[in-house]
Structure 1
Amino acid sequence: MKKIVIVALILLALFQSSTVVAQDLLKSGDLSTLKVDYLSDSDVLKLKTQMQNNNVSIEQAELMALAKGMSATEFAKLKLRLSSNDTTSTPDKKDDMKEGEDSLELSRKLEKIVNTKIKDSVNALVFGSQLFDNPTLNFEPNLKLATPINYILGPGDELQVSVYGVQEFNASIPVSLEGKVNIQYVGQISVSGMTIEAATQKIKGAFAKVYSTVSSGQSQVSISLSRIRTIKVTIIGSKQPGNYSISSLATVYNALFLGGGPGKNGSYRNIELLRDNKIYRTVDIYHFLVNGDQSDNVGLKDNDVIRIPAYNQRVTVEGQVKRPGIFEMKKGETFSDLLSFASGFNEFAYTASVNVLQKTAKEFKVRDITSAEFNTYRPQSGDEFRVTKILNRFENRIKIEGAVFRPDTYSFYEGMRISDLILKADGLKEDAYSKRARIIRLKSDLTTEIVNIDLEQALKGDLQADIALNREDIITVYSILDFVEEYKITIDGEIKKPGIYDYHEGLTLNDFLVQAGGLTGSASKRVEVARMIVSEVIDDANPNKAELFNIMITPDDNEQAKNFELFPFDVVNIRRMAVYEKPEMVIISGAVNYAGKYVLASKKSRVYDIIERAGGLTSVANLDGVKIKRPIKAKQIEEVESINLNLGKKDSIQNKIEKKLKEDIKFAIIPVDWRSIVKDRKSSTNVTLFPGDEIEVSTFNEGVKVAGNVLLTSEIPYSKGKGFNYYLNAVGGIDSKGWKKKAYIIYPNGKAAVAHSFLFIKSYPTVTPGSQIIVPEKPEVKKMSTGEFVSIAGVLASLAGVIIAILR
C-alpha cells in the first residue's frame, strides 16, 4: 500500500510540476521531475515575472535550479523558452492593444519551418517549375483562420481551455504523448484521434461534472487550438527529397514547395499522395497553374508519402504563343489542350497551321497540323511545335497619296476603279493636277510597273481612263504646287529684321519694308535693289550680272517710297547714313583730379587731351607711371588663329598663344612717356585713343617689388644709385630654379627691359621707383642617360674605326 502511495505522489508531481514551478521556482525544494515541454506560455511568463521581481538573473536561476535537482538539459530548454517566447516580456498597454488586434496570431503557435530555395536551372523551361522557385509563394497554412472543425488532434497540439461566467478557469493544456490532456480539478481526458469538435464536446462534458455552473448554463466553456503540432511527411522524386517536419495544417502544395518541386525528370501531373500504403490522391499541378483549381491541394497527415514519378510525355512549344516552353501531356490530351497550357496564340501567330517536328524510332519527321486537326491531334512524346509569324503582306490593301483630302491605305475589292478610290479619299484637293496621275503596280513576278492615268477623263466617266485597280496598287495624285519653284527674296542693311523671305506675287518695296520690321534710325534715303538678268540669249556685249535700281525714300516714313514692284530673287539693300556714329568713351583712372569715363569728342583725341579734361595729374602721381590698357578684340584673336607658324600638327606653341589671348590676357599695355608729352605734344607716345581704352595713372611709389624665383618675394625701398643686384641680394638672392640672366624689370608705365651682355660684360637695366623685378624659372633640360652616353660612344668608336681603315 505504501508503494502505491509513493507512485501516485510521483505521477502527481510529474503532472503538477509546471504549476509548482510557475508558483515559485525559487522556493521549490525538488525540481528533478520538472518537464519544460509541459510548461505553457503563461507558466513561462509567470516564471519570468517572478525572476524580475526578485532581481534574479538567468545565470543565478540556473545555479539554483541545478542545485534543486533540475537536469541541465531541461534547464537549457527553459532558458531557450525564456529568451525566445514573446510572452516573456512584461506586457504594457501598447502590447495589449497589439495582442487585441492580432490575437489569433499570438495565441496560435507553430514552429517556423525554413527551407533554402535553389534556383531551378535544369527545368527552367518546363511549365510549372517557376511555381517552386519563388520564395514568396510557399502555400503555408493561415494561422489566423478559425480552427477547422474536422481538425484531428494528436500529441504536440495545445488547447486553450477557458471557463467564463460565474466560475472562471483559463489554461493552455498540451496533448501528451499518450494523446491526453490533463485539466486541473477535472482530470485526464483522451482526445488523440478526435476532431476538435468532438474533443470540445467531450471536455465540456467533463467540466460539467466538476463545475456545477457549467451544467446549469451559468458558466460557458470555450476550447480553441493554441499550438499546432508538427507532422512528418516524406517526399520522393523532388529536387530536395527527404523527410520533412511540417504543420499539421499543411497541404500537398506546401510540402512540394519545401521539397523544391519535381526533380529533373519528375512529373508535374501525376504526383501521388500515399497514405497507409495506398494512393490517396493523384495531384495534377496544371489544374492550379491553368485554372487556379486547388482541389488537389489536400491536407496532409502524419507519415504521408508524396511520390513524384518520372514524366511520361513532354513536348516543346516555341514561336508565336503567349507562353512558350516545355509542357507535360497526359494520355488522350490534344493539341488544343496544349495550346491552352501555352495560353494560346499571340497576336502575330500564323494560326492556319502549326509545324511539328516528330521523332520516330530511327529519324525525325516533319508534319503540318491544320487548324481543323487541333482538336484531334494527340501530341507524342518529344514533339516540337513551332508556331510561325503571319506573312508580312496584305490580301486587300490599296493606297492613295498626294493631292486628295484623305491620303491613306484603304481596303480593296474586286472591280474597284480609280473614281471609287478617290471617292473613298473624299475627293481631289483644289491644287490637284488633273491631267495626269500615276499607279505603281505590283506584277505577278513581284516586279513593279508604272501606269499613267488621265485623271480628268477618269472622273468624267470615261471607262478607258477610269481603269480597274489591283491589290497593292499605289496611286499618286500630283499637286500643281509641286511644279512651282519656291521663290525667295532678300533684304539687308539698315533694316530691323534682315534676312531671306518668301516671295509672293504682287509684293512691293513698301510691303517688304514693313514685313522686315521697318528701317533703323541709321538708314539713309538710298535703297538699292539688285535683280537677276533673265534671257534666252547670251549677250557678250553686256558684262552685267545683275540689274541695279536706285530708289530714294524718306527714312521717317516708309510709305513715301515709290510703289516699286519686286521680283523673285531680288536683293534689297538699305544703305547707312554717311555720318551716323554714336558717342564712344574711354576711361581714365588713378592719380588724376577727375577720374571716370570721357567721350571721344574727336576722332583724333589723344592721351594729353583726355588727361587735361580730367584736370591733369595730381601731386602724388608718378610721372613715369602713365600707361594705356587697350582691350584685345576678337578680330585680333582671329588673325592669330589664321596664321600658320609651321610648327607641326603636334606642336602646342600656337595653341598656347591662342588660349592665352582668349582666357588670360584681356588687355594690351601701351607705355606712355608723360614727361616727353609735356615737353612736346607731338611726341610719339601721345597716341590716339580708341573706344574702350583705359588710361591708368599710378600713384608714386618709392618701393621696388622683387618677385619670381627668389628666396623672398618682397618690396624693397628704392635707394638712388643702387643697381639690379642690390635688390636681388636684398631678398636673399635667387633660388635653385631662378634664371638670373633672363631677369627683367617692369616699369610703372608698363614698359619692360631685360638684362643683356656684351663681351662677357653683363648689363642690367636701370631700377626706378615703383618698378618690379621679375626672375623667371629656368627651363627643364633633359639630361642624357648612361645608356645614351654608351650608345653615342659606341657610334663614335665605330666611326673612328671606319676613318682609320679609309686612311690606311
Structure 2
Amino acid sequence: MALHQFGYSIFNRNISTFAPIDNVPVGSDYVLGPGDELRITIWGSLENTYIQTVDHYGRIYLPTIGPVRVWGLNFSQAEKLILAHLSRYYKDFQSSVTMGHLRTIRIYIVGEVAQPGAYNISALSTITNALFAAGGPNKTGSLRNIQLKRNQHMVEYFDFYDFLLHGDKSRDLRLEAGDVIFVPPIGSIAGIMGKIKRPAIYELKEPIRINDLITMAGGLTPQSYLKRVQIIRTKPNAEREVIDLDLTHAEKDGTTPKGIELQNGDLVIIYPTDPRIYNTFSLNGSIKHPGEYEVKPGITIRQVLPPESLLPEAYLDNVEIIRFKDDLTTEVIHINLKKLWEDEHAQDIFIQPHDLITVRSEFKAPESITLTGEFKRPGTYTIQPGERLSSVIRRAGNFTNVAYLKGAVFTRKAVQVREKEMLDQFVKQYEEGLLAEGQALLSYSAENRSIRELEIAQRRQQLKLIASRVTLGRIVIHLDTIEKFEGSQNDLILQDGDILTVPREPVEVMVLGSVRNPTSFVYKNGKNIQYYLNRGGGFSKAADKKEIYLLKADGSALIGFLKLRNIDPGDAIVVPPKIEIKDWTWIKDVATIAGQTALTFAALSILL
C-alpha cells in the first residue's frame, strides 16, 4: 500500500471553501485600519445613519463633529470613542456602531508553498486562510513549523497538526498588513502502515517514540498484532535494516520497545493478527442450521446433532467427519447417527477444532431428458430409472407429420465427457511427441531440419484446431415410427441430461470440401453422388478422389461403393484434400479422434 504524507491533501480542495467570511460581526479585538467601513446609527432626539470609511490617514468624518482618528484602535475602543464624541454634541439619543465592508490587507507568503507571493486578503484572515490562498505547503514544506513574522519579529510558530489532529486553532492568529508567513523545509519524518487507523507519513516536530507515532496515527485497530511490529530503518550509509519488536508488554520507559526513539526516515509496520479461527468446527449438508460453531470443552457428536437439528431427508446411517491430524494429513470418520441416538452406551465422539461434519441427503434429484424439434409436445421430461426413449416419445405425443426421423440427433453427457477425455489425451500425447521430434532435429542437416520444422509446425497448428473442438457426445440412432422403434436396439435406456432433436425434413444436399463450388443443392429423388458432384463443378486440383465419403443425416459416415449409395435429404458429400505428410499414423489418429465431432457439427449445420 502506497503511503501519503499526512495533511497535504486538505489543500487540494477548492480554496473558497476555507476563505474567511466578511459579512459576520467582528470581535471586539478587531483592529481598525484604512479601508474599513463603519456604520453609525443614531436614534432618539435625532435619527440618522452615517456610513464612513477609514481613510488613508486613519480617520473617519462625522457631521458637525469632524474627523475622528480610529486607525490602530480595536473595535471596542473605536465604538467608545465615537460615542464620546457624539455625546459632546447630542443629548437624549442612543447609538449603534457596526462594521460594514472590511478592508483588505497585503501579506506575503514565502518558502515551500505551492504559489508563493504577495496576497491581498480579508482583514479577518488567519494563518490558515492565507495558506489555503497560496495552495498550501509543498510536499517538501513543513506543516509543523510555519512561521509568522511581523515587523521583522517572530510572532508565532504555527503547527498545522494541532488543527488537523485536535481541531485546535488557538495559535491560528489573525493577520495584519505586512505580515510574512514563511514555510521552511520539512523536518524529520516517519511512516507507519499496516493495521493502524490512519496510515501515513508524519512529520516529527521533535524526537518521538513508537507509541507516540501510533497515537498520532489514530491508534491501533482490533486486528493489530503487537507481537510482530517492525521498524525499517535507513542507515547513514544508505543501507537498510529491519528491527523486530514485541509491543505486548512494552512500557514507556525508553528501554522497552515502545520507548525506542524513532529516527528520520523510519517506517513502522503493524502486522495483522492471524485471520484464521482455531476454535470452530463446521456442520454441512442436510442440517437446519449449517455453518461454523464453537468447539466447547467436551462437546460431542450426539450433542451437536440431535434429531431436531436435521432435515427430513438427512441420511443417518453414514455421517462423515473429516479430521485434520497434527501432521496435516486427514482421516475420515464414519458414524451411524441412528445407532448413536438409540444406544445410550454407544461410544460417542468428541469434536475437535477444524472438524468438517457432513450429513448427506437421501433425496435424489429427478433425472430428465429434453426433446426438441418436431414433437407434438416438446420439452423437458422427468424420467424413471430404466425408462426407454420410446416411452418418453409417447409422453410427448409422438412425432409431428413433418418430422425427419433420419436426421435425429441424440446426445448424452457421459459420451461427451468420454470424447473430451479422449481428445485431451490425444492432444497431450501428440504434443509430447512433437516436442520429442523437435529435439531430435538437432542431429539433422540444415536443409532437412528446415523441412521437418515446417512439417512439425503444420502438425502443431492442426493439433490446436483439434484441441479447440467442442465435443457433443452424439450417439447415432435410427428412429422409426413409434410402433417399429419401441423395443428395437435403438430404443435406448435413458440417462439424465439426454437430448433428442428431431428436425423437419431438409430440402438440400451439401457438397463440401475440394470441389470447385462447395455449397448446398436442392435434393432430387433418385439422383446419385455423381450428380451432386457435377453440380458442384467437379473436383478441384487438390481433391483426394479416393477418400470421398458420404455423411448421412443420422450422423453415420459411409465410404466405398459411393456410386451405389442412396442419397437422402440432409446428406453431405465430403471431398477431402490431399495431404502430403509422411507420418500417416498422425493422419489416422487425427481422423479417429476428431472425426466424430466434425461429422456431428456438419450434420447439425445441415439439419438445424
Q: What TM-score comes out, normalization by structure 2 length?
A: 0.58
Q: Residues of 1 paired with 2:85 and 2:79: CA distance?
A: 10
Gaps of 5+ in 1: 1-122, 523-544, 551-567, 571-632, 662-808
How far does residue 645 in structure 1 lie from its aligned partner after superposition?
Answer: 6.8
Could you list the per-position Cα deviations for residues 646-675 of structure 1 after superposition, in whole angstroms to 9, with x for gaps in the alignment?
A: 457xxxx767x89xx9xxxxxxxxxxxxxx
Could you list the per-position Cα deviations for residues 280-338 of structure 1 after superposition, in whole angstroms to 9, with x for gaps in the alignment?
A: 33322222222333223221223333333444431112234343221123436444443
**Aligned ranges for residues 240-319 of structure 1 at < 5 Å?**
240-319=115-194
Aligned to 1:477, which of 337, 345, 359? 359
Q: Residues of 2 paired with 1:137 and 1:338: CA distance?
A: 32
Aligned to 1:643, which of 506, 511, 533? 511
Matched with 1:448 is 330
**Aligned ranges for residues 31-430 of structure 1 at < 5 Å?**
125-136=4-15, 139-210=18-89, 212=90, 215-217=91-93, 220-239=94-113, 240-331=115-206, 333-345=208-220, 349-350=224-225, 352-361=227-236, 363=239, 364-373=241-250, 376-377=258-259, 378-423=261-306, 426-430=308-312
Q: Residues of 2 paired with 1:287 and 1:433: CA distance?
A: 67
Contact 2:3 2:193 (8 Å CA) reproduced? no
Q: Residues of 1 paired with 2:371 and 2:244: CA distance?
A: 76
Could you list the per-position Cα deviations for residues 564-598 of structure 1 after superposition, in whole angstroms to 9, with x for gaps in the alignment?
A: xxxx969xxxxxxxxxxxxxxxxxxxxxxxxxxxx
2:51 aligns to what SS in structure 1? strand
Contact 1:316 1:382 (8 Å CA) reproduced? yes
**Matched length:** 418
Q: Residues of 2 paired with 1:416 and 1:223: CA distance?
A: 83
Change (3 A) 1:176 1:137: closer
Q: Residues of 2 paired with 1:187 and 1:207: CA distance?
A: 11
Change (3 A) 1:337 1:654: farther
How far does residue 149 in structure 1 lie from its aligned partner after superposition?
Answer: 2.0
Percent of counterpart pairs with the same letter? 29
Code of the residue aligned with 1:151 in structure 2: it is: Y
Q: Which moved more, 1:363-372 or 1:189-198?
A: 363-372
Matched with 1:616 is none
How far does residue 499 in structure 1 lie from its aligned partner after superposition?
Answer: 4.7
Q: Residues of 2 paired with 1:493 and 1:276: CA distance?
A: 98
1:404 aligns to what SS in structure 2? coil
1:388 aligns to what SS in structure 2? strand
Change (3 A) 1:361 1:184: same
Q: Residues of 2 paired with 1:493 and 1:157: CA distance?
A: 92
How far does residue 358 in structure 1 lie from its aligned partner after superposition?
Answer: 2.6
Contact 2:6 2:200 (8 Å CA) reproduced? yes
Change (3 A) 1:430 1:187: closer
**Aligned ranges for residues 649-798 of structure 1 at < 5 Å?**
none
Contact 2:37 2:51 (8 Å CA) reproduced? yes
Q: Residues of 2 paired with 1:521 and 1:175: CA distance?
A: 105
2:508 aligns to what SS in structure 1? helix
How far does residue 141 in structure 1 lie from its aligned partner after superposition?
Answer: 1.6
Higher relative contact order (CA 8 A, sep 6+): 2
Gaps of 5+ in 2: 253-257, 402-477, 484-492, 496-502, 523-608
Change (3 A) 1:192 1:465: same
Q: Residues of 1 paired with 2:75 and 2:197: CA distance?
A: 47
Q: Residues of 1 paired with 2:71 and 2:285: CA distance?
A: 89
Matched with 1:432 is 314
Matched with 2:382 is 502
Q: Residues of 2 paired with 1:125 and 1:490: CA distance?
A: 61
Change (3 A) 1:361 1:645: closer
Q: Residues of 1 paired with 2:345 and 2:171: CA distance?
A: 73
Q: What TM-score comes out, normalization by structure 1 length?
A: 0.45
Q: Residues of 2 paired with 1:230 and 1:251: CA distance?
A: 13
How far does residue 399 in structure 1 lie from its aligned partner after superposition?
Answer: 0.7
Q: Residues of 2 paired with 1:180 and 1:325: CA distance?
A: 52
1:432 aligns to what SS in structure 2? coil
Change (3 A) 1:429 1:138: closer
Code of the residue aligned with 1:501 in structure 2: it is: Y
Code of the residue aligned with 1:401 in structure 2: it is: N
Contact 1:311 1:328 (8 Å CA) reproduced? yes
Instruction: Provide the aligned C-alpha RMSD in A.
Output: 4.4
Q: Over alpha carbons, which structure has the higher Rg?
A: 1
Could you list the per-position Cα deviations for residues 355-395 of structure 1 after superposition, in whole angstroms to 9, with x for gaps in the alignment?
A: 22134455423222424438644433221122334434221
